[in-house]
Structures are given as C-alpha cells and as structure tokens.
Structure 1
Amino acid sequence: MELIQKYFPNLLDQQIYKLSSLKNLYAYWNTYVNLISRKTFNDFYQQHVLFCLGIAKVFSFYPGSCVMDLGTGGGFPGIPLSIVFPHTKFILVDSIRKKIKIIEKIIYHLHLKNVFPICIRAEKLENQFDFVVTRYVKKIDIIHNWIKDKFKYKSTYKIQNGAFYIKGGNLYDELKRFPHAVEYPLNHYFNEPFFITKKIVWISNI
C-alpha cells in the first residue's frame, strides 16, 4: 500500500483505508473464485491496483460521468478507480456470474456507492457511457467493435468520449487500425521495472 501512497500522496484517509483493505478482501475471496492470478498476488498493489490506477495519472474522470469497466473480472480496473474517483459512476461488466456475485460482496464491504456490477456480455448492453476502461480482455480491434456504439453522442468534457485500454508489450499491430490512438507509457509515471513495457492507450470514439 506504501507504493500507492508514494504515487498518489493526496488521497483522503477514507480512500487510503478502502485501498488498503483490498488485499485482504481479495485474499479471502480468491480462495473461492479465481478473481485474480494467484501467481501475482504477492505483488498485488503493484500489478493490480497501481497498474489500474495508471489511468488516473493520464486522466481525471469528472463528477457525474459514467464509465464502463468492460470484462471487469475481479473488479479491475473499476474498483480501484471508483475509490479514487468517488463521484464518478462505474458500471462493472462481466459475463461470468460467480465473479460478479463476489464483486457485489466486495463493493458492499467497502461501502462503494458509485459502483454497479452487471452480469452481461458487453456487446448486449443497451446503456451508453462517457468512457470505457478495460484491462487485458481482448485485442483492441475486437473490443472496439463491441463498444463502438456504446458511447454517449455528446461529450460533456474537454476530450471526446472514448476508451482507455490498460495494456503491455508491443502494440504496433493492434494499433494499425487506430492512427489517432494515444499511448501513455507508464514508466513515465512509475519507476518500478514492472512498468517498462506497460502503457495506457486512449482511443476516442470518433
């Protein structure tokens, strides 16, 4: 948790408490359902929480906006982001019901009032969103086809509505179709070697 406070020194006490509670909660529920990889659990705050909060280093979601976390799995990146942005609404979407059921319990325990999990395939959702966030779900072109009609037509912020992809490795082939994509290397924000190949990719919906 010290790693989170190192890079986010302005968190409120309540935010620190909720973020610091995550590891024990996931340690407990991970014994029932594989929410996150057990191989990475010892590095929970770096590989899961801080990695997801990389989005918060490149963009601040505004109060009242609505964000879909596509393929949320164990609640990442939606749950860490919802703690940092408590006035933004997060819809956590996944097609695996047993994961959604446990995410509901984690949300209840943390008293997160701005998080709403839904068990559904993203392409079947009829809702519209200001932004989409997703980590390691599918290749970008596949996800883009799922979400291209899920955005609100009018942007109410200084940038166009669109999606943030949390990715790693060489994305040259994935981004060929998206010349307007913007890559944010996370090693510009975090010093740890884990982030050398990690990045946030922003693609607007136009």
Structure 2
Amino acid sequence: MELLKKYFPQITEFQVEKLILFKDLIKQWNKKINLISRKDVENFEVSHILHCLSISKFIEFKKDTEILDLGTGGGLPGIPLSIVFPDSNFKLIDRKSKKINVLNEIISELNINNVKAQNIDIIDLNHNYDFIINRAVSSTDNLIKLCKGRINSNGHNEIKNGIICLKGGNLNSELKNHNKFQIVELKSFFSELFFETKKILYIPNPYNHNYS
C-alpha cells in the first residue's frame, strides 16, 4: 500500500492495516462470489482503494455525518471511507442479498462499528442521510429520482448535503439538463493512468429549495 501512503500521508498505520485486511478479504470472497470485476483484483489498491478514498480529497466528513452507499456491491466506496472516517456513520445497501451477506461477514472481520450493510431498496428505507455516495450506479437523472426524499435538508459539513458519485468518461450528455453540479477531475490528485478519465460528480440536494 505504498501509493496509499503517498497520496494520503495523514492516514494512520491502524487504518492502513484495516484497508489491507479489507483487500485480502475481498480477494478471498471474490473467488466464491463476484464482488468486484476479476480483472481489477490485482490492481485493487489503485482501482478500488485509491479510487474510493478520492472522495476524502473532495470532502472531509465531519463527526456524526450520515452517509448512504447506494448499490454498494463489494462495499465500495463505503467500507474504505468508513475506515478513514471512523466518526461518521455509513449505511451500505444493495439489492443483491448474497453480496450483503458477504459484506456483513467482512465488516465483522474488520471489526468496524460505524458501518452497516443491508439488503434493501432505497425506496424502502425509513431514514434520511446527509450524503448519498455511489460508483456509477445509474445515470444522473435516475440517481436523482432514486434519492428523492432521502437527503437531509440541513447539514454540518463544509459543502451542502447531496449526492457524490464516482464517474468516468465524458459527462456532457448526461448533465445537459442540469446546472447545479460540480465535477472534480481525479487526475488532479493522482498521476496513475487509471485516473485520467475518472471524476467526482457532486450534486447539492436537488430537492432542497433552500439551495441556490
């Protein structure tokens, strides 16, 4: 995890150990159930750990921030972020029960108590969150529809509550009907070729009329 220490010098040895264990557990379970693309397993540090933690370069979640990882799959980006933000609370949801069962095993092995995984659809949740995060789960239009009524109006972070997505490629057509968003190019943080077209897309809560 040399790159991890290079790009995140503030990370503690304890957190590095947790992330290494997470990587090992994902590799073990991935032989039984397809949590992540098998072609990415050997490039896990870059394509999964660094990619997920790039969100921490955009926002430092404050204590007691409530974060929902929508369509978490292999616990990404929720679990890596929960390790580096131990004072924030993470909920990981996915409609595939087998993946959630595995994630609960992984969370137990990691012994982290600020993250919970559940096999549930977002429309069936009875709780709201400060931020909804995901990795290219859906189109922007559909994502905004899914998040309706699930984002807290009032927040306590440096940016307004909203949606934070890890995306790739050209987003012009996807965002042509939207004017309230921010794009952060990940190549501004990382020099690896993997990040050349990768981006963070941030959308302030589109359902809060107090947002300008």
**TM-score w.r.t. length of structure 2:** 0.94
Equivalent position of 1:94 in the other structure: 94
Return the offset for 1:50. Answer: 0.6
For the residue of structure 2 that corresponds to 1:105, the secondary structure is helix
Equivalent position of 1:45 in the other structure: 45
How far, CA to CA, are the matches of 1:35 and 1:138 in structure 2? 18
Are 1:95 and 1:121, in contact at CA under 8 Å, matched by a contact in 2?
A: yes
Return the offset for 1:12. Answer: 1.2
Structure 1 portions without partners, runs of 5+? none
Return the offset for 1:43. Answer: 0.4
Return the offset for 1:167. Answer: 0.3
Equivalent position of 1:192 in the other structure: 192
Number of residue equivalences:
206
Return the offset for 1:124. Answer: 2.1
How far, CA to CA, are the matches of 1:155 and 1:59 in structure 2? 13
Return the offset for 1:103. Answer: 0.3
Give the RMSD, CA atoms, in angstroms. 1.0
Equivalent position of 2:31 in the other structure: 31
How far, CA to CA, are the matches of 1:15 and 1:94 in structure 2? 25
How far, CA to CA, are the matches of 1:5 and 1:136 in structure 2? 26
Tell which deviates more after alignment, 117-126 or 47-56.
117-126
Return the offset for 1:148. Answer: 2.2
Equivalent position of 1:160 in the other structure: 160
Q: Give the share of equivalent positions with the same residue, in percent.
A: 42
How far, CA to CA, are the matches of 2:159 and 2:101 in structure 1? 34
For residues 152-196 of structure 1, give each alpha carbon's deviation from its aligned partner in whole angstroms, at most 9, with x where no partner exists: 122223322101000000000111222111000000000111101
For residues 101-151 of structure 1, give each alpha carbon's deviation from its aligned partner in whole angstroms, at most 9, with x where no partner exists: 000011011111100111111122221000010002111111110002101
Equivalent position of 2:173 in the other structure: 173
How far, CA to CA, are the matches of 2:200 and 2:157 in structure 1? 19
For the residue of structure 2 that corresponds to 1:108, the secondary structure is helix
Equivalent position of 1:136 in the other structure: 136
- Residue 33 of structure 2 aligns with an amino acid whose one-letter code is V
Equivalent position of 2:14 in the other structure: 14
Are 1:130 and 1:155, in contact at CA under 8 Å, matched by a contact in 2?
A: yes
**TM-score w.r.t. length of structure 1:** 0.97
Structure 2 portions without partners, runs of 5+? 207-212
Return the offset for 1:21. Answer: 1.4
Return the offset for 1:52. Answer: 0.9
Are 1:161 and 1:204, in contact at CA under 8 Å, matched by a contact in 2?
A: yes
How far, CA to CA, are the matches of 1:125 and 1:174 in structure 2? 27
